[in-house]
Amino acid sequence: MLRRLVSVPPAYYVFGLLLLTLWLARPNMLNPNVLGIFIRQVVPLGILVLGQLLVMRVRSIDLSGGGVILLINYIITSRTFPEASGLTFILMALAIGGGVGLLNGFMVAKRRVSAVIVTLAVSIILVGFVQFLSSGKPPGDVPKYMNEIFNISLGFVPLPVLFWVVCTGIMWLVMQQSVYGRYVEAVGENAEAAAFCGVPVERTVVMAHVLAGLIAAVAALVQTGSIAVGSVRVGLDLPILAVAATILGGVVFGRGEGGVWGPFFGVLSFALLFVVMTVFGIGDPGKLIAQGLIILMAAILYGSRSKRG
Amino acid sequence: MIAFIRSGFSTRRSRHGLWAVPLVIVIALLAALTFGTDQFASGENLANVVSQAMPLLIAAIGQLFVILVGGLDLSIGSVISFSTAILSLDGPAVVLIPAVFVLAGLVGLINGLVITRLNVHPIIATLAMQYILLGITRILRPVSGGEISGILIAAVQGSVLGLPLPFLWGLLAIGLAAKILYGSRFGLHLFGIGGGVAAGMDDAARNYGIRVERNIVLAYVACALFAALAGVFLAGRIVSGDPNVGLLFELDAVTAVAIGGTQLSGGVGSLHGTVLGAIIMVLLANGMNMANISPFVQTAIKGGLLLAIVGLQSRKKMGL
Amino acid sequence: MTDAEPIWLIEMQSISKAFGASRVLKDVTLRLRAGSVHALMGENGAGKSTLMKILAGVHRSDAGRILKNGEPLHLPSPREALAAGISTVFQEMSLLPNLTIAENMFLGREPLTGSGSPDRRKMRAETAKALAELDLRLDPDQLVSTLTIAERQFVEIAHGIKADASVLILDEPTAALNAADVEVLNRSIRRLKAEGKAIVYISHRMDEIFDMCDEVTVLKDGQYVGTKTIRDVTQHSLIAMMVGRELSDLYPVRAASFGQPVLELTAFRASGKARPFDLMLRQGEILGLAGLEGQGQQKIMRSLMGRFVPAGGSLRLHGQALKFPRPVNGIRAMAQLGVGFVPEDRKEEGLMLGLSVASNLVIALHSERPAFTRARGLGSVVKQMMDSLHVKAASPAIPVGSLSGGNQQKVLLGRYLARNVKLLVIEEPTRGVDIGAKSEIYRLLRDFANVGGAVLVTSRETIELIGLCDRLAVVHGDTVVAAMPAADATEHSILAAALTTSEVAA
**Chain A residue at shortest CA distance from C348:** A193
Q: Can you give the pLDDT at residue B276?
A: 96
Most confident of A135-149, A293-307, C258-272: C258-272
HSE-up (13 A, CA, CB side) for residue C385: 28
Does A18 contact C at CB distance below 8 Å? Answer: no
Q: Can you give the pLDDT at residue C238?
A: 82
Which residue among B114, B135, B320 sits closest to A59, beta carbon to beta carbon?
B320
Which residue among C328, C332, C348 sits closest to A198, beta carbon to beta carbon?
C332
Q: Can you give the pLDDT at residue C3?
A: 46
Does C148 contact B at CB distance below 8 Å? Answer: no
Which residue among B118, B125, B310 sits closest to A114, beta carbon to beta carbon?
B310
**Chain C residue at shortest CA distance from B267:** C98
Residue A131 identity: Q
- As a whole-number percent, the residues of chain A with pLDDT over 90 amount to 61
How large is the average pLDDT for residues B139-158?
Answer: 92
Name the more confident of C15 and A235: C15
Q: How far is A257 from chain B (nearest CA, A)?
A: 18
Q: Can you give the pLDDT at residue C292?
A: 81
The CA distance from B141 to B158, in Å, is 27
Question: 10 Å Cβ neighbour count for A33?
Answer: 10
Tell me the C-alpha to C-alpha distance, in Å, between residue A126 and each of A131, B57, B283.
9, 26, 23
Element (H, E) at A65: helix A65-77
How large is the average pLDDT for residues B205-215?
Answer: 89
First to last CA, chain B: 39
Report chain A residues whose CB lies below 8 A from the CB of C351: 190, 193
Mean pLDDT of chain A: 89
- As a whole-number percent, the residues of chain C with pLDDT over 70 amount to 94
Q: Can you give the pLDDT at residue C295?
A: 84
Report chain C residues whose CB lies below 8 A from the CB of B15: 98-99, 143
User: How sure is the predictor about C245, in pLDDT bands with cuts at 50, 70 and 90?
Assistant: low
pLDDT in tens, B154-165: 999 988 888 889
Most confident of A121-125, C202-206, C390-394: A121-125
Which residue among A112, A118, A304 sits closest to B316, beta carbon to beta carbon?
A112
Pairing of strands B163-164, B159-160: antiparallel
Report chain A residues whose CB lies below 8 A from the CB of C373: 178-179
Q: How far is C74 from chain B (nearest CA, A)?
A: 15
Residue C439 has pLDDT above 90, yes or no: no
Residue B230 has pLDDT above 80, yes or no: yes
Does A304 contact B at CB distance below 8 Å? Answer: yes
pLDDT in tens, C401-431: 888 888 999 999 999 988 889 999 999 898 8
Residues 6+ apart with CB under 8 A from C363: A182, A186, A194, A197, A199, C352, C355, C415
Most confident of A49-63, B33-47, C74-88: A49-63
Q: How far is B176 from chain C (nearest CA, A)?
A: 13
Residue C240 has pLDDT above 50, yes or no: yes
A250-253 CB contacts, 8 Å cutoff, 24+ apart: A250/A8, A250/A9, A250/A10, A250/A11, A251/A9, A251/A53, A251/A56, A251/A57, A252/A56, A252/A298, A252/A299, A252/A302, A253/A56, A253/A59, A253/A61, A253/A188, A253/A302, A253/B121, A253/B319, A253/B320
Check: CB of residue A123 under 8 Å from CB of residue A116.
no
B 200-259: CB under 8 A from A = 248, 251, 254
CA-CA-CA-CA torsion sign (C458, C460, C462, C464): negative
User: Of how many residues is chain C composed?
Assistant: 506
User: How sure is the predictor about A98, in pLDDT bands with cuts at 50, 70 and 90?
Assistant: very high
Identify the residue among B116, B124, B137, B262 best suited for mutation to test binding to A, counting A beta carbons within 10 A and taking the highest. Answer: B124
Neighbouring-strand partners of residue C42:
none
Pairwise CB contact (< 8 Å): C373 & A178: yes
Burial class (CB in 10 A: 0-12, 13-18, 19+), A293: middle
Mean pLDDT of chain C: 87
Which residue among C77, C98, C112 sits closest to B195, beta carbon to beta carbon?
C98
Pairwise CB contact (< 8 Å): B306 & A117: yes
Residue B146 has pLDDT above 60, yes or no: yes
C25-29 CB contacts, 8 Å cutoff, 24+ apart: C25/C50, C25/C51, C25/C54, C25/C61, C25/C222, C25/C223, C26/C222, C26/C223, C27/C64, C27/C223, C27/C224, C28/C64, C28/C219, C28/C222, C28/C223, C28/C224, C29/C224, C29/C227
Does A205 contact B at CB distance below 8 Å? Answer: yes
pLDDT in tens, C462-503: 888 999 999 999 998 889 999 999 998 888 788 788 876 544
Q: Can you give the pLDDT at residue C177?
A: 74
Q: Hey, which chains touch C, using 3+ CB pairs under 8 Å?
A: A, B
Pairwise CB contact (< 8 Å): C367 & A255: no
pLDDT in tens, A50-82: 999 999 999 999 999 999 999 999 999 987 888
Check: CB of residue C167 under 8 Å from CB of residue C191.
no
pLDDT in tens, B51-74: 999 999 999 999 999 999 999 999
Pairwise CB contact (< 8 Å): B182 & C117: yes
pLDDT in tens, C353-378: 889 999 999 999 998 888 888 888 88
Which residue among A112, A122, A306 sits closest to B314, beta carbon to beta carbon?
A112
Residue A186 has pLDDT above 70, yes or no: yes
Does C214 contact B at CB distance below 8 Å? Answer: no
Chain A and chain B share a number of CB contacts under 8 A equal to 165
Pairwise CB contact (< 8 Å): A199 & C368: no
Name the more confident of A218 and C175: A218
Does A189 contact C at CB distance below 8 Å? Answer: yes
Q: Can you give the pLDDT at residue C5?
A: 52
HSE-up (13 A, CA, CB side) for residue C361: 31
Tell me the C-alpha to C-alpha distance, in Å, between residue A291 and each of A244, B127, B257.
6, 10, 29
The pTM score is 0.87
Name the more confident of C353 and B85: B85
Q: Can you give the pLDDT at residue B206?
A: 85
Chain A and chain C share a number of CB contacts under 8 A equal to 83
Residue A304 has pLDDT above 60, yes or no: no
Q: Can you give the pLDDT at residue A1?
A: 40
Q: What stretches of C159-205 adopt beta strand conformation (E)?
A: 167-171, 198-202
User: How sure is the predictor about C302, in pLDDT bands with cuts at 50, 70 and 90?
Assistant: very high
Q: Can you give the pLDDT at residue C506?
A: 29
Q: How far is A52 from chain B (nearest CA, A)?
A: 13
Report chain B residues whose CB lies below 8 A from the CB of A243: 127
How large is the average pLDDT for residues A22-28?
Answer: 88
pLDDT in tens, C135-156: 888 999 999 988 887 788 888 8
Pairwise CB contact (< 8 Å): A180 & C371: yes
B174-181 CB contacts, 8 Å cutoff, 24+ apart: B174/B57, B174/B61, B174/B271, B174/B275, B177/B61, B177/B64, B177/B65, B177/B226, B177/B271, B178/B271, B179/C117, B180/B65, B180/B222, B181/B64, B181/B65, B181/B68, B181/B271
Pairwise CB contact (< 8 Å): B135 & A60: no
Mean pLDDT of chain B: 92
Name the more confident of A217 and B17: A217
How large is the average pLDDT for residues A92-99?
Answer: 97
